[in-house]
Chain A
Amino acid sequence: MIIIEPRVRQLLVEDALNTFPDECCGFLFGREEHDGTRLVVDILVVDNSKEGDKTRRFEISPQDYMAAEAHALDHDWTLLGIYHSHPKHPAIPSETDRQAAQPYFSYVIVSVIENTRSLASPAEKAIELRSWLLNDEHQFEEEQILDYIYS
């Protein structure tokens, strides 16, 4: 189970929309409870360093990765995972995602089916967030995203 703070969710969606039709990417920070529940409290937006077509691929440079580990250390957070967007595709990991995936990390995918900014009513309907974790067989299993209840 993963809890994404509303402010963080907003940041993720913003990045996905700003980068559309390219893929965006970045890191998720927070902490993991004893029961395994993860709480994402902040993100770090990084450049998609993939050369060439970025509409279907993303890459994060090793320098950015090392910076993210340092960032986590500085704030006493845990580096919980990676987020990236799937422009015009569902928030389901591709085979490319699976092959390159790391154990332990939560992979949050933001699906942007169409750029809602160009629509008259920018609704949430074209955006979907889902999170995925590798199991021991190196297959993705969905990690439930728990919605914040606004009170």
Chain B
Amino acid sequence: MATVIIPTPLRKFTNNTARLQVGAGTIQDTVKELTQNFPDLKKHLLDEHGKIRSFVNIFIGNDDIRDLQQEHTTVKEDTVISIVPAIAGGSPEGAGANGAVFTKEELARYNRHIIIPEFGFEAQRKLKAAKVLVIGSGGLGSPVLLYLAAAGVGTIGIVDFDVVDDSNLQRQVLFGVDEIGKPKVEAARRRLEALNPYIQINIYNTHLNSSNALDILRDYDVIADGTDNFPTRYLVNDASVLLGKPNIYASIFQFEGQVSVFNFRDKQGQLGPNYRDLYPTPPPPGLVPSCAEGGVLGVLPGIIGSLQALEVIKVITGVGETLSGRFYIFDALNFESRTFRIRPREDNPISGKNPSITALIDYEQFCGMRAVEDKPLKEITVKELYDWQVKGESFQLIDVREPHEYEIVNIGAELIPLSTVAANSERFDRDRKVVVHCKVGGRSAKAIRELEEKFGFTNLYNLKGGILAWVDQIQPELTKY
């Protein structure tokens, strides 16, 4: 009988026997006999075609059977056969001296990513090397930014011109009560830096428009569009196409969310469709209201923004199949999802056969809206307000904060919370000066703009610095919050 020496790792399949006796013949017969007697050995010795696995070496004495007659090598009575597993391995691919290097703290932080076999170190390294620009830090931007920062995207840019408003907090989970009135990008940066100190956050406290979009987008690899209006959506789409950057799109309205990946070049080099392949032109103005007008269920941007973050991560890492060429719709009310196939159109005005758009255009005009003019508000300082009071000047004082804030501290103004201002426009005097205030001045500015735009007021003054400035400079004995 010939002897087969079983390697340690396979002995648990041979009842812990190291040496087995087999009949004479060829190696093929030996393997057959072994796998018949010990069926569990089969998958370790043979591949799905019944061939000896490439990482299993079989030796007769000191000779590899590959150097003899392979599986037809003769096995004699005194032959000693060794099954030798190939021992090999290595560290992950592609992380040479130029690749992103992780500190021990980062490795610990991202451990749950790195241990996923299909994700691993390679994907984490790509995240660290990636630069993502998130446009809008509101309902969608909040989860997108939180998850991208948490996931370890190395550089994140945030574009937003807005300030945090109390009515944002129902869905914009990046922010808290303390940030009301502060620029969103600054509040977002503070929150994200507290979450992940190993990444870089760049902020752009500005309106994205045709004159600055290319310069801002240029520095990033991936764009995530979380804006809430058509002009900016077309602007982001066109700028992404012109710069050749993938644009991960999401939008929400009331109970419905949409997600897709636009302008994405896949591994085969095929460029996927963009927003204009789906909607070549915008809907008539006013047909589709914004969240501010139409409302949105607060949890919906949490769901859709998370899906958007997922697609950003897949685009960066190349893991999985992205939504490029597909358009996903989630109906929260009926809990239904639909995915449509979308294709590049030949008549696409920016990426079709004969493109008519070769540079950014005026998107307000394109979407049938008048340009947003940032005409200056009339302002009044707390000292001036105090002077008016002392002099007995006739004016009306309105507070647009929330009732619970009013209870904490107030300066004798009439309370008309921001969300109810339009409905209560008749309570604003037209025949004398009206001073509008909030906590620090953001919400009152919004109230004034709304009243001016919708009701044509011209006598409204914004209290600079809000009630906090008043407490600081005029009545320090009052409560600050």
Contacts and interface: CB of A to CB of B under 8 A. Distances in A.
Interface stretch (B101-109, B281-289, B295-303, B319-327): B101-109
B89 interface: yes
A69 interface: yes
Interface string A115-144: 000000000011010000000000110000
B430 interface: no
Contacts of B90: 23, 50, 56-58, 84, 94, 96-97
Contacts of A62: 57, 59, 64, 84, 86
Given A63-B62, A125-B104, A128-B104, A105 B8 contact: yes
Interface string A91-129: 011111110111111010000010000000000011010
A4 interface: no
A65 B117 contact: no
Interface stretch (B9-17, B24-32, B221-229, B309-317): B9-17
A92 B64 CA distance: 32
A90 B114 contact: yes
Contact of A92 (B44, B55, B114): B114
A98 B44 CA distance: 14
Nearest to B40: A103
A72 interface: yes
A94 B88 contact: no
Interface in A68-103: 69, 72, 78-80, 82, 84, 86-90, 92-98, 100-103
Contacts of A149: none
Contacts of B44: 103
Most buried by A among B5, B84, B90: B90
A97 B89 contact: yes
B91 A56 contact: yes
Contacts of B89: 57-58, 82, 84, 93-94, 96-97, 100-101, 107
Contacts of B111: 92
Contacts of B92: 56, 89, 94-96
Contacts of A93: 89
Contacts of A11: none
B413 interface: no
Contact of A104 (B11, B55, B93): B11
Interface residues of A, number: 44
Given A102-B85, A139-B117, A89 B91 contact: yes
B198 interface: no
Contact of B8 (A72, A87, A97): A72
B120 interface: yes
Contacts of B280: none
Nearest to B11: A104
A50 B99 CA distance: 23
Contact of B88 (A96, A104, A126): A96
- Which bracket fits the contact residues of B? 35 or more
B95 interface: yes
B9 A87 contact: no
B87 A90 contact: no
B88 A66 contact: no
Interface in B79-137: 82, 84-93, 95, 101-102, 104, 107, 111, 114-115, 117, 120-121
Contacts of B86: 59, 62, 100
A60 interface: yes
A79 B8 contact: yes
Contacts of A66: 59, 62, 82, 84
A57 B11 CA distance: 27
A60 B90 CA distance: 12
Given A62-B59, A97-B90, A90 B117 contact: no
Nearest to A126: B104
A118 B407 CA distance: 64
B84 A50 contact: no
Contacts of A56: 90-93
B12 A88 contact: no
Contact of B102 (A63, A90, A94): A90
B318 interface: no
A89 B96 CA distance: 10
A113 B121 CA distance: 14
B355 interface: no
B197 interface: no
B121 A90 contact: yes
Interface in B57-89: 57, 59, 62, 64, 82, 84-89
Contacts of A92: 107, 111, 114-115, 120-121
Contacts of B107: 90, 92
B7 interface: yes
B93 to A, nearest CB: 7
A86 B85 CA distance: 21
A94 B121 contact: yes
Contact of A60 (B9, B88, B95, B114): B88
B121 A89 contact: yes
Give the top 7 A-B pairs by smallest Cβ distance, nearest first: A57-B90, A102-B9, A97-B89, A60-B87, A89-B91, A86-B91, A104-B9
28 contacts: A25-B87, A56-B90, A56-B91, A56-B93, A63-B62, A65-B87, A66-B62, A66-B82, A69-B7, A82-B87, A88-B91, A89-B91, A89-B121, A90-B102, A92-B121, A93-B89, A94-B89, A94-B121, A95-B117, A96-B88, A97-B89, A100-B89, A101-B89, A102-B85, A103-B12, A104-B12, A126-B104, A140-B117
Given A59-B86, A62-B86, A65-B87, 17 more contacts: A57-B88, A57-B89, A69-B8, A69-B82, A82-B87, A82-B89, A88-B91, A90-B114, A92-B114, A93-B89, A97-B89, A100-B89, A102-B85, A102-B87, A104-B9, A104-B12, A128-B104
